Amino acid sequence: MTSRQPQSEQQSITVIGAGLAGCEAAWQLAERGVFVRLYEMRPHQMTPAHKTGGFAELVCSNSLRAASVENAVGLVKEEMRCLDSLIMRAADATKVPAGAALAVDRTLFSQTIEQVLSQHPKIEIMREEVTQIPEGTVIVAAGPLVSDALSQEIVYLTGQTHLFFHDAIAPVVSSDSIDFSKAFFASRYDKGEPSEREGDYINCPMDREQYLDFYRAIVDAERYPLKNFETPKTFEGCMPIETMAERGVDTMRYGPLKPVGLTCPDGTEPYAVVQLRQDDAAATMYNLVGFQTRLRQGEQERVFRLIPGLEHAEFLRFGQMHRNTYLDSPKLLNSNLSLKTAPRIFFAGQITGVEGYVESAACGLAAAIYAAAQLQQKSIASFPQNTALGSLIRYITTPNAKFQPMNITFGIMPPLQERIKNKKEKNAQLARRALEGLKEWLNGSAVE
């Protein structure tokens, strides 16, 4: 801990949490001439998942996922590099061989970041828990495992119903990866909105043999263990699909896979049906209804691709269940990530409903740029919508009744004007458009 004092209280911002988002935010602020007080409660007070007192600790995998810009998370990383991200500098400097992914030596990664921030003349590090939001401009980047006291303070600020504590997320697949020679649109008992598609749901019908194969695969599949802060009862209200399967061979058929009210286009009655519900306005993404799960990601791909029609499904988001504190950001936050009811308070990282290390850091970067602009009374253009970063921030701050945490995917970016069938080429063009847009934004965004 250093004992530097802010040169000008007017030009200082408090950042709560030295995780992925908080470290990136502190760096961006300091590089913009803002004095930063960065609070981190570890190691004095640990979270249930962190194991060290180090900054930007990667709590689970050491992978920052795909490296290529033809993958949306690779694009976010490239955009962050263009914005001089500390997290990306550290990741590139400490990377380890990982094929098409960018993985890091987690200890060196954390040490590199902590060293840069502790030596920065504009950053003061405070190793203590924040229990009340301080005066002045603040960025709350306390993560999905925010301490209880601060979480109470946030509830006080936002209202109980606007802070969620658990993720029970079903996987999302891209609609253009679904095989419609097997899947079909229909609503149970034809009760959907009248539309050309003859129903609101995509239905994947199974015969008895297919159902039993699927049942056996799901019961045997490998899953993530319960964390010490979770009990099987935690998720009783939204049971994982594999737990439901374990209760009996037909339990899923009386639950989310019930076939009643659905007939296949050839007139046959299915034995079981998996339904997919539209997840975005553009209908590019569909979630598997009732498929919240704690199966390992590779197992989700293997087992869920047994579902007829999903053999080649592209998973845009995997299902998951873990404790995750996050805000109802679309209701609470302005488009610059500040709180509508108290615009001096910004939120960043996973607590805003972005999901993943890279997305959390990217959100910290954006919050810092917006907070610095507010403090320095500069008007600044929003990140372009065509960038992955702009789309991610837009996703979490745009009204959405079914808001759920989200990884970046090309599915939340505005589509290209022309239709390109080849997915690799389409993604390459989306990436090119994003990086050009970001360059233009960098050249002309900040208006004094």
Ligand X SMILES: Cc1cc2nc3c(=O)[nH]c(=O)nc-3n(C[C@H](O)[C@H](O)[C@H](O)COP(=O)(O)OP(=O)(O)OC[C@H]3O[C@@H](n4cnc5c(N)ncnc54)[C@H](O)[C@@H]3O)c2cc1C
Binding part of the chain for ligand X, among 20-28, 261-269, 272-280, 411-419 by CB under 6 A, reads 20-28
- The total number of residues shown for the chain amounts to 448
Please report whether residue 405 would count as binding ligand X according to CB under 6 A: no
Structure tokens at 271: 């034995």
Chosen residue from 240, 356, 384, 411 binding ligand X by CB under 6 A: 356
Residue numbers 209-238 binding ligand X by CB under 6 A = 227
- Greatest alpha-carbon span in the chain: 76
Instruction: Find, among 29, 81, 9, 6, the residue nearest to 364 by Cα.
Output: 29
Q: How far is the CB of 6 from ligand X (least distance, A)?
A: 19
Please report whether residue 20 would count as binding ligand X according to CB under 6 A: yes
SS3 425: helix
349 touches 407 (CB < 8 A): no
Chosen residue from 26, 150, 316, 339 binding ligand X by CB under 6 A: 150
Chosen residue from 67, 76, 87, 145 binding ligand X by CB under 6 A: 145
Residue in this structure with the two tokens 């040169």, named with its chain if needed: 7
21 touches 202 (CB < 8 A): no
Binding part of the chain for ligand X, among 4-12, 205-213, 277-285, 354-362 by CB under 6 A, reads 354-362
Nearer to ligand X, 101 or 310 (CB): 101
| 342, containing H or E segment | strand 342-347
Please report whether residue 49 would count as binding ligand X according to CB under 6 A: yes
Question: For the window 358-397, what string marks contact with ligand X as x by the rule CB under 6 A?
Answer: --x-------------------------------------
Chosen residue from 30, 130, 366, 375 binding ligand X by CB under 6 A: 130
SS3 184: strand
Please report whether residue 142 would count as binding ligand X according to CB under 6 A: yes
Nearest residue to ligand X by CB is 19
Distance CA 354, CA 362 (A): 9
Instruction: Find, among 33, 3, 16, 25, the residue nearest to 117 by Cα.
Output: 25
| Angle at which helices 72-82 and 357-375 cross, to 10° | 40
Name the site residues for ligand X (rule: CB under 6 A): 16-22, 39-42, 47, 49-50, 59-61, 129-130, 141-147, 150, 227, 322, 349-351, 356-357, 360
